[in-house]
């Protein structure tokens, strides 16, 4: 496999610089270094993100323990506020964004035949900021007064109240952490966009690119356009909090509503930054496990960009009840509802891909099917929330909490699990245990439904979100939700057991265990440091040619043989 | 089940099956739409029926889509499963332009129709009056609010047009964490009394951070924004005692920031106002304050919070013993 490293005719895209700790494939120490290999960085991202999934999940279970009874009796209400703020922040900024950046790192270069990212050092820097802002956020548990308790929105004037008056406080650390996360994500976005646009294998036109790369590009463009706005808003908030400015303080002539615009201009599209790559994962996995081409590939690809464009003009739907004039509510209601069209196209395309397929219900497929089912449900409640009169009633209630957990957990995190199982053999070289995977799926599906479905009901009845105590009429829904949350905690046991035991003693994985079509499956498992190195295959047909009997690349058999021999 | 090229003769039964499926789906959707009213609290304002009807409509359409998609997925899982050890591919269908146009255009028309319908409802409801930013830079104090009607307003603020039947403006003052209501005759209370079937005008004022004025039985909610006075109006339509909850997170003891709305007949309301006027001002019951005093007594443990504002001085306090309908 490494016989061609000293070939005189190097592909100019291949990076040949000495790495700080290149090490052999089996050297675990490289995962703790400033390594510039995208596959090492990808695994670093995913491992640390999964660690924070456990932290965020633990916080959630304490919250659900508090909410299993109506009064605030487990923790002090101020502690509850800190817990839910940190739960949201950890899950978004320390689990979902990093885990998806991990997949971008692992998948994009092999899928397009590139040796590495366009800017490997920038890539490593973007990753190493992640433990830094992770530690800063966790440190806020230790400062006097505890972590930020103003919610992950951090709306002023609440977020700038600073009750104890200390210069170093939980809110300050929260803002620093979120701002650093934004800087890291911008570095990542520059890298991913450049790599996708400039480093594709010969013959791979945009319309021969796998959908995951389309959706990654669409999502990372949102990062480039939206994140500067959030970062600016965070900087102003920090100045209001620590240096006495009054960008958002009414008594100094500022306007608290201004912050909400800065915040949601990025933070609504941020949902699509997380959802789009999962749409990509669904589009990759359905063809593999239904043994059929992706239905309407081109339309599915283009729909990603329709989502990108629309996502940037919907943010005011978070402010329908904040004193927004009627004409503005109407405009943003229409733009929000239009998002149902491109997402609908994708959902219908996935279902049509299943139609008359040859379906295999392996663990990744189960997570994909359940993820799409949950996404249809969440899309329907999403359209309900878009219509102003319904939003006026259920906005800021548990209905919204149920809705976005259906998106963020029951769809996005299901997609993350599907992707972990599907590409586990490729990047670790080991097969996972199917029965443990199915157990993980069943527990997760029951737990998440029990957890998040009754929340809709509580919200319709008028239970506000973010409360530490509630009126007794909401008890039934909350008991169900708490039981579901504890079951989700149990579900992580087979998951972690599977990851660890497969990694240690799972059967060796062949290059293409799922009989899938794609450049990454023409590589050995795990792929060598620079993928195809200077022998990059020439792509001659579009992806997902299942049942069409056409080769994906020139000399396909030679690449398949080489991967087997490696 | 992956046999290609179904004959024309086969088409009749499958069309019948699709028609029967769509019929069942429509029936299920109709049932769910009817059921949806039962997931909501009682309707106690003139806005509530509009909200509930729209929600039922969306529940019906949503059910149709969810059941339809799930049925197709279930069908494929039942009949298109690969037998064990069968490594064959499925039908290599790459797309169908007609189908793709249909499932782009129909959803587009459906959401535009819902949006059009909803804009009409918005126009009917129009609960939100103007939002005026305060002209003064000085923070509001209770003293500056004591004389009702002397609220500092921005230049050009519109006087509320009222006909003789209308009530108000009632000032709604939110603090961390209490509600205070000041009626036009100067009466102050910490539970809200309203006459039924009359249009009520409110001025929503926050003294510190964002709060949300939310009455689930009315299906209405509006944020209170510090530095602004927001005009708001609604018409209660059913007598009873309902919850008013703070819906916009306001820190420390946010969850305790709720009170009751009592909707009564015009005569009862007038009698209540007259009796309240004679009652002396005294500090209201305040749940946040109780918890805070308890926390101080136990050594002030817990994470940082601003202390609760002193309970408002009111003629009529809320009574935590009362039970509410919704």
Nearest CA in chain A to B137: A251
Q: Please judge whether A358 and B248 are an interchain contact, meaning their C-beta atoms are less than 8 angstroms apart.
A: no
Using CA atoms, how far apart are residues A411 and A381, in angstroms rounded to an integer?
A: 14
- Contact residues, chain B, for A321 at CB < 8 Å: 212, 221-223, 247
- The reply to whether B66 and B165 lie within a common domain is no
Q: Residues A494, A500, A503, A507: is their CA dihedral positive or negative?
A: negative
Q: Find the CB nearest B122 among A297, A330, A461.
A: A330
Q: Please judge whether B291 and A77 are an interchain contact, meaning their C-beta atoms are less than 8 angstroms apart.
A: yes
- Contact residues, chain B, for A72 at CB < 8 Å: 255, 291
On the question of pLDDT at A12 being above 80, the answer is no
The answer to whether residues B138 and A252 touch, using CB atoms and an 8 Å cutoff, is no
- Contact residues, chain A, for B304 at CB < 8 Å: 78, 144-146, 149, 163-164, 169-170
Using CA atoms, how far apart are residues A128 and A130, in angstroms rounded to an integer?
A: 5
Using CA atoms, how far apart are residues A63 and A67, in angstroms rounded to an integer?
A: 6
On the question of pLDDT at A34 being above 90, the answer is no
> Which of B14, B110, B223 to mutate to test binding with chain A, by most A CBs within 10 Å of its CB?
B223
On the question of pLDDT at A552 being above 90, the answer is yes
Examine residue A202 and say whether the peptide bond preceding it is cis (omega within 30 degrees of 0): no
- The reply to whether B144 and B216 lie within a common domain is yes
Q: Please judge whether B139 and A251 are an interchain contact, meaning their C-beta atoms are less than 8 angstroms apart.
A: yes
- Structural domain for B249, as ranges: 132-314
Number of domains in chain B: 2
Examine residue A327 and say whether the peptide bond preceding it is cis (omega within 30 degrees of 0): no
- The reply to whether B25 and B140 lie within a common domain is no
Q: Please judge whether A155 and B47 are an interchain contact, meaning their C-beta atoms are less than 8 angstroms apart.
A: no
User: Got the DSSP string for A416-429?
Assistant: HHHHHHHHHHHHHS
Q: In the prediction, which pLDDT does A379 show?
A: 97
Using CA atoms, how far apart are residues A416 and A45, in angstroms rounded to an integer?
A: 13
Residues 428..487 of A with a Cβ closer than 8 Å to B: which?
457, 460-462, 464-471
Length of chain A: 566
Q: List the CATH number of the domain containing B208.
A: 2.60.40.420
Lowest-pLDDT range, A22-36, A234-248, B304-318?
A22-36
Under the banding of pLDDT at 50, 70 and 90, the label for residue B158 is very low
Nearest CA in chain B to A333: B115
Q: Touching check for A546 and chain B: CB below 8 Å?
A: yes
3-state secondary structure at position A369: helix
Size of interface A-B (CB pairs under 8 A): 319
pLDDT in tens, B230-282: 999 999 999 999 999 999 999 999 999 999 999 999 999 999 999 999 999 99
Under the banding of pLDDT at 50, 70 and 90, the label for residue A283 is very high
What phi and psi values does residue A135 have, to the nearest 5 degrees? -65, -40
On the question of pLDDT at B149 being above 60, the answer is no
In chain B, what percentage of residues exceed pLDDT 70? Answer: 86
Shortest Cα distance from B59 to chain A (angstroms)?
8
Question: What tokens appear for A392 in the block?
Answer: 């006026």
- The reply to whether B142 and B64 lie within a common domain is no
Q: In the prediction, which pLDDT does B79 show?
A: 94
- The reply to whether B145 and B233 lie within a common domain is yes
Question: What tokens appear for B24 in the block?
Answer: 């069942």
Using CA atoms, how far apart are residues A180 and A78, in angstroms rounded to an integer?
A: 26
Q: In the prediction, which pLDDT does B155 show?
A: 37
Q: Touching check for A372 and chain B: CB below 8 Å?
A: yes
Any domain includes A348: yes
On the question of pLDDT at B151 being above 80, the answer is no
Q: Find the CB nearest B50 among A344, A389, A461.
A: A389
Shortest Cα distance from B127 to chain A (angstroms)?
10
pLDDT in tens, B75-108: 999 999 998 878 888 888 899 999 999 999 999 9
Residues 94..113 of A with a Cβ closer than 8 Å to B: which?
none
- The reply to whether B148 and B112 lie within a common domain is no
Shortest Cα distance from B148 to chain A (angstroms)?
22
Any domain includes B108: yes
Q: In the prediction, which pLDDT does B135 show?
A: 54
| CA nearest to A109, candidates A211, A14, A196 | A196
- Contact residues, chain A, for B287 at CB < 8 Å: none
Q: In the prediction, which pLDDT does A21 show?
A: 47
pLDDT in tens, A337-378: 999 999 999 999 999 999 999 999 999 999 999 999 999 999
Please give the torsion angle defined by the CA atoms of residues A176, A178, A183 and A186, in that order, rounded to the nearest 10 degrees.
-170
- Contact residues, chain B, for A460 at CB < 8 Å: 39-40
Q: Please judge whether B305 and A163 are an interchain contact, meaning their C-beta atoms are less than 8 angstroms apart.
A: yes
Strand order in the sheet with B240-246: B192-195, B258-264, B240-246, B211-215, B220-224
Mean pLDDT (chain A) is 93
Q: Please judge whether B93 and A147 are an interchain contact, meaning their C-beta atoms are less than 8 angstroms apart.
A: no
Show the 3-state SS of chain B. Answer: CCCCCCCHHHHHHHHHHHHHHHHHHHHHHHHHHHHHHHHCCCCCECCHHHHHHHHHHHHHHHHHHHHHHHHHHHHHHHHCECCCCCCCCCCCCCCCHHHHHHHHHHHHHHHHHHHHHHHHHHHHHCCEEEEEECCCCCCCCHHHHHCCCCCCCCCCCCCCCCCCCCEEEEEEEEECCEEEEECCCCCEECCEEEECCCCEEEEEEECCCCEEEEEHHHCEEEEECCCEEEEEEECECCCEEEEEEECCCCCCCHHHCEEEEEEECHHHHHHHHHHHHHCCCEECCCHHHHHHHHHHHCCCCCCCCCCCCCCCEECECCCCCCCCCC
Q: Touching check for A518 and chain B: CB below 8 Å?
A: no
Q: List the CATH number of the domain containing A237.
A: 1.20.210.10
pLDDT in tens, B55-81: 999 999 999 999 999 999 999 999 999
Number of domains in chain A: 1
Q: In the prediction, which pLDDT does B146 show?
A: 43
Please identify, among B112, B128, B144, the residue that sits at the C-terminal boundary of a domain.
B128
> Which of B10, B56, B111 to mutate to test binding with chain A, by most A CBs within 10 Å of its CB?
B111
- The reply to whether B260 and B123 lie within a common domain is no
**Burial label, A295 (beta-carbon count in 10 A; 0-12, 13-18, 19+):** buried
Any domain includes B57: yes
Any domain includes A389: yes
Question: What tokens appear for A172 in the block?
Answer: 């300050």
- The reply to whether B121 and B189 lie within a common domain is no
Note the Cα A362 to chain centre separation in Å.
22
Q: Please judge whether B82 and A360 are an interchain contact, meaning their C-beta atoms are less than 8 angstroms apart.
A: yes
Question: What tokens appear for B288 in the block?
Answer: 């946040």
- The reply to whether B220 and B268 lie within a common domain is yes
- The reply to whether B293 and B155 lie within a common domain is yes
Q: In the prediction, which pLDDT does A23 show?
A: 52
User: What element of type H or E holds A527?
Assistant: none
- Contact residues, chain A, for B88 at CB < 8 Å: 291, 358
Q: Touching check for A507 and chain B: CB below 8 Å?
A: no
3-state class percentages of chain A: helix first, strand second, coil last, to nearest 5? 65, 0, 30
Q: Return the beta strands (E) in A189-242 as ranges.
A: none
On the question of pLDDT at A24 being above 70, the answer is no
Q: In the prediction, which pLDDT does B86 show?
A: 81
Any domain includes B87: no
Distances (CA, A) of A402 to A73, A332, A473, A482, B57: 23, 22, 18, 13, 20
Q: Find the CB nearest A393 among B221, B303, B305.
A: B221
- The reply to whether B250 and B286 lie within a common domain is yes
Q: In the prediction, which pLDDT does A31 show?
A: 85
User: What element of type H or E holds A124?
Assistant: helix A120-139
Q: How many CB atoms lie within 10 A of CB B139?
A: 14
Any domain includes A24: no
Q: In the prediction, which pLDDT does B9 show?
A: 59
Q: In the prediction, which pLDDT does A3 show?
A: 41
Any domain includes B180: yes
Average pLDDT over residues A294-309: 96
Any domain includes B93: no
Q: In the prediction, which pLDDT does B162 show?
A: 52
Question: What tokens appear for A466 in the block?
Answer: 């973010």
pLDDT in tens, A480-524: 999 999 999 999 999 999 999 999 999 999 999 999 999 999 999
Any domain includes A304: yes
Any domain includes A25: no
Q: Find the CB nearest A321 among B69, B222, B258.
A: B222
Q: In the prediction, which pLDDT does A529 show?
A: 85
> Which of A77, A156, A159 to mutate to test binding with chain B, by most B CBs within 10 Å of its CB?
A77
Shortest Cα distance from B246 to chain A (angstroms)?
8
Any domain includes B322: no
Any domain includes A9: no
- Contact residues, chain A, for B208 at CB < 8 Å: 157
- Contact residues, chain B, for A510 at CB < 8 Å: none
Any domain includes A178: yes
Q: Find the CB nearest A466 among B59, B221, B254.
A: B254
Strand order in the sheet with B167-175: B128-133, B228-234, B200-206, B167-175, B178-182, B188-189
Note the Cα B140 to chain centre separation in Å.
28
Q: In the prediction, which pLDDT does A193 show?
A: 97
What phi and psi values does residue B321 have, to the nearest 5 degrees? -80, -20
**Burial label, B105 (beta-carbon count in 10 A; 0-12, 13-18, 19+):** exposed
Question: What tokens appear for B248 in the block?
Answer: 């916009």
The answer to whether residues B39 and A350 touch, using CB atoms and an 8 Å cutoff, is no
Q: Find the CB nearest B76 among A253, A354, A471.
A: A354
- Structural domain for A324, as ranges: 38-565
Under the banding of pLDDT at 50, 70 and 90, the label for residue B157 is very low
Any domain includes B198: yes
- The reply to whether B190 and B237 lie within a common domain is yes
Any domain includes A12: no
The answer to whether residues B95 and B197 touch, using CB atoms and an 8 Å cutoff, is no
Q: Touching check for A306 and chain B: CB below 8 Å?
A: no
Q: Please judge whether B100 and A329 are an interchain contact, meaning their C-beta atoms are less than 8 angstroms apart.
A: no
Distances (CA, A) of B4 to A48, A209, A549, B13: 48, 29, 17, 17
Under the banding of pLDDT at 50, 70 and 90, the label for residue B165 is confident
Any domain includes B248: yes
């Amino acid at each position: 496999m490494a016989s061609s490293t000293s070939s005189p005719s190097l592909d100019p895209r291949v990076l040949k610089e000495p790495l700080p700790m290149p090490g052999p494939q089996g050297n675990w120490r490289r995962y703790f270094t400033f390594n510039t290999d995208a596959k090492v960085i990808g695994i670093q991202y995913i491992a640390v993100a999964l660690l924070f999934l456990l932290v965020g999940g633990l916080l959630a279970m304490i919250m659900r323990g508090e909410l299993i009874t109506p009064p605030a009796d487990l923790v002090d209400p101020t502690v509850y506020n800190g817990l839910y703020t940190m739960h949201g922040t950890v899950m978004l900024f320390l689990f979902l964004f990093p885990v998806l950046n991990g997949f971008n790192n692992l998948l994009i270069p092999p899928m397009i035949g590139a040796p590495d990212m366009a800017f490997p050092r920038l890539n490593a820097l973007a990753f190493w900021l992640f433990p830094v802002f992770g530690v800063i956020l966790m440190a806020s548990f230790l400062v006097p007064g505890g972590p930020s308790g103003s919610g992950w929105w951090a709306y002023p004037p609440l977020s700038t109240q600073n009750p104890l008056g200390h210069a170093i406080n939980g809110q300050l650390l929260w803002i620093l952490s979120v701002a650093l996360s934004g800087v890291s994500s911008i570095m990542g976005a520059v890298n991913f966009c450049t790599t996708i646009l400039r480093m594709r294998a010969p013959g791979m036109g945009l319309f021969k690119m796998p959908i995951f790369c389309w959706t990654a590009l669409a999502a990372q463009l949102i990062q480039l356009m939206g994140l500067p706005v959030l970062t600016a808003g965070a900087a102003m908030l920090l100045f209001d909090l620590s240096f006495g400015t009054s960008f958002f303080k009414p008594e100094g002539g500022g306007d608290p509503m201004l912050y909400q615009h800065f915040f949601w201009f990025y933070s609504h599209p941020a949902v699509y930054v997380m959802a789009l790559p999962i749409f990509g994962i669904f589009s990759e996995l359905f063809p593999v496990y239904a043994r059929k081409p992706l239905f309407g590939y081109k339309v599915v690809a283009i729909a990603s960009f329709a989502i990108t464009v629309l996502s940037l003009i919907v943010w005011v739907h978070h402010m329908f009840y904040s004193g927004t004039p009627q004409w503005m509510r109407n405009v943003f209601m229409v733009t929000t509802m239009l998002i149902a069209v491109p997402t609908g196209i994708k959902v219908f395309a996935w279902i049509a891909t299943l139609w008359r397929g040859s379906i295999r219900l392996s663990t990744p497929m189960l997570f994909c099917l359940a993820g799409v089912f949950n996404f249809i449900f969440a899309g329907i409640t999403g359209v309900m929330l878009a219509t102003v009169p319904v939003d006026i009633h259920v906005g800021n209630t548990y209905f919204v909490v149920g809705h976005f957990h259906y998106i963020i957990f029951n769809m996005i995190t299901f997609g993350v699990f599907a992707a972990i199982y599907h590409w586990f053999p490729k990047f670790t070289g080991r097969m996972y245990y199917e029965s443990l995977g199915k157990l993980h799926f069943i527990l997760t599906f029951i737990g998440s439904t029990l957890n998040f479905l009754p929340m809709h009901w509580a919200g319709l009845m008028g239970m506000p979100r973010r409360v530490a105590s509630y009126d007794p009429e909401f008890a039934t829904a909350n008991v169900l939700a708490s039981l579901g949350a504890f079951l989700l905690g149990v579900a992580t046991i087979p998951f972690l057991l599977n990851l660890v035991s497969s990694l240690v003693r799972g059967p060796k994985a062949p290059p293409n265990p799922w009989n899938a079509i794609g450049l990454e499956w023409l590589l050995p498992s795990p792929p060598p440091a620079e993928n195809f190195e200077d022998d990059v295959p020439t792509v001659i047909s579009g992806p997902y040619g299942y049942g069409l009997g056409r080769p994906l690349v020139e000399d396909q058999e030679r690449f398949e043989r080489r991967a087997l021999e490696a | 089940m992956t046999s290609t090229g179904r004959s024309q003769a086969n088409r009749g039964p499958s069309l019948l099956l699709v028609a029967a499926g769509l019929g069942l789906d429509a029936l299920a959707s109709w049932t769910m739409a009817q059921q949806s009213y039962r997931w909501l609290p009682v309707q106690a304002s003139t806005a509530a029926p509009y909200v509930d009807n729209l929600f039922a409509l969306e529940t019906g359409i949503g059910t149709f889509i969810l059941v339809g998609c799930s049925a197709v997925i279930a069908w494929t899982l039942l009949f298109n499963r690969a037998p064990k050890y069968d490594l064959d591919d499925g039908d290599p269908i790459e797309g169908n332009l007609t189908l793709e146009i249909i499932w782009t255009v129909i959803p587009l028309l459906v959401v535009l129709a819902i949006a059009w319908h909803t804009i009409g409802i918005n126009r009917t409801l129009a609960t939100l009056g103007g939002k005026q930013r305060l002209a003064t830079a000085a923070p509001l104090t209770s003293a500056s609010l004591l004389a009702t009607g002397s609220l500092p307003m921005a230049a050009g603020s519109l006087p509320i047009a009222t006909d003789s039947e209308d009530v108000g403006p009632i000032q709604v003052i939110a603090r961390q964490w209490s509600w205070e209501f000041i009626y036009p005759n100067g009466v102050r209370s910490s539970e809200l009394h309203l006459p039924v079937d009359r249009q009520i005008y409110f001025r929503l004022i926050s003294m510190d951070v964002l709060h949300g004025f939310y009455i689930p039985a009315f299906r209405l909610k509006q944020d209170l924004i510090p530095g602004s006075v927001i005009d708001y109006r609604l018409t209660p339509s059913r007598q009873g005692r309902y919850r008013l909850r703070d819906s916009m997170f306001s820190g420390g003891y946010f969850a305790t920031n709720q009170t009751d709305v009592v909707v009564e007949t015009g005569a009862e309301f007038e009698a209540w106002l007259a009796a309240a006027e004679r009652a002396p001002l005294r500090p209201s019951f305040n749940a946040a304050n109780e918890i805070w005093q308890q926390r101080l007594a136990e050594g002030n443990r817990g994470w940082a919070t601003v202390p609760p504002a002193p309970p408002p001085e009111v003629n009529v306090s809320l009574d935590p013993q009362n039970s509410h309908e919704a």
